Structures are given as structure tokens and as C-alpha cells.
Structure 1
Amino acid sequence: MQNQPAHKVRIGLVTASIWNNNGSYSVDLSRSYKTDQGEWKNTSGLFHSDLLNASKCAERAEIWISRQLTKSQ
């Protein structure tokens, strides 16, 4: 895999990072949060309130990947 994702979709605190590994795509979902010290971090754990944004990110990631696959045909 690359060091940087091929594309990112972000809604609220939820991000879908899309990775391209020689034409095969994978997606990581994460939620950003701020520590007590004010530092931003990411976690794969989602709260109930994150689920709608996660589903929308996943849908947009699927659309982006589909378009990339269509371009390469």
C-alpha cells in the first residue's frame, strides 16, 4: 500500500480513507477526537451518533471507487 490514501471522504468527525493497492481498493473508517491535552487523534471505534456519517462516508467511498474502476476499463 501507499503511504497516503488515494482519496478521503470526511463527514463530521468520521473519515473514510481509500487505499489503492494495484487497482484493488480498501477503505478504513475512523473517527477523530481531541484529547484532554488538545491533541487530535483517530480511532476506529464509533459512537451511535457517528453511524449515519459512517454509512454516508462508506457510500461515497463506494461511489468514488466505482468511478475509478470505470475509468480504468
Structure 2
Amino acid sequence: MPKQKQQPVHEIRLGAVKAAIWENETSVGVRHNVTVSRLYKEGEEWRNTDSFGRDDLPLVAKVVDQAHSWIFESGTSG
């Protein structure tokens, strides 16, 4: 049976910038990691990148702050 691809437990998106929150079970309990990406359209296809321009940075700061708050409020360790 093929292994299912892990999905984020939560996503935060502002405009084209997205933070995905991943939950990982460890020997000391649940831990979270966050990946940040920017969505863009190439032709008819949507793609993502981890490269950000000057005007993306305020949104990066906001989605990362919101991700931190979500993890903190979820009641588990970071």
C-alpha cells in the first residue's frame, strides 16, 4: 500500500504568500515546523517558490506571526 503524503495541519495564506504548519510526533511529544512559500502562475499552471521579493516581505512576516500564534494557541510544543 503506498504511503500517503503528509498534509499540513493548518495553512495561513495572505495574498500569494502561504505558511504551512506541519505536525511531527517526536519522542518528547508533538512538534511543529513551518514552511513558507509564494504562489505564482506560470502559463496556466500554479507553482510555488521559497523566494520572496521586497514587496512580499511584509506578508511573510504576517503569515509567520500568525503561524506562531496558531501553534502557541494549539496548546502543543513548538
Q: Same fold (TM over 0.5)?
A: yes
* 3-state SS, counterpart of residue 75 of structure 2: helix
CA distance in 2, matches of 1:69, 1:26: 15
Structure 2 match to 1:61: 67
User: Which runs of no fewer than 5 residues in structure 1 stay unpaired?
Assistant: none
Measured after TM superposition, the shift of residue 68 of structure 1 is 1.0
User: How far 1:30 sits from its partner (Å)?
Assistant: 0.1
Alignment match, 2:47: 41
Question: 2:10 maps to what in 1?
Answer: 7
SS of the counterpart of 1:69? coil
Larger Rg: 2
Larger strand fraction of residues? 2
Paired-residue identity, %: 39
More helix by share: 1
Q: How many residues align?
A: 69
* Unaligned runs of at least 5 residues, structure 2: none
Distance (whole Å) between structure 2 residues aligned to residue 11 and residue 29 of structure 1: 11
Counterparts of 2:22 and 2:75 in 1: how far apart (Å)? 13
Matched, 1:29 2:36: yes
- How far apart, CA to CA, are the structure 1 residues paired with 2:53 and 2:40? 11
TM-score normalised by length of structure 2 = 0.83
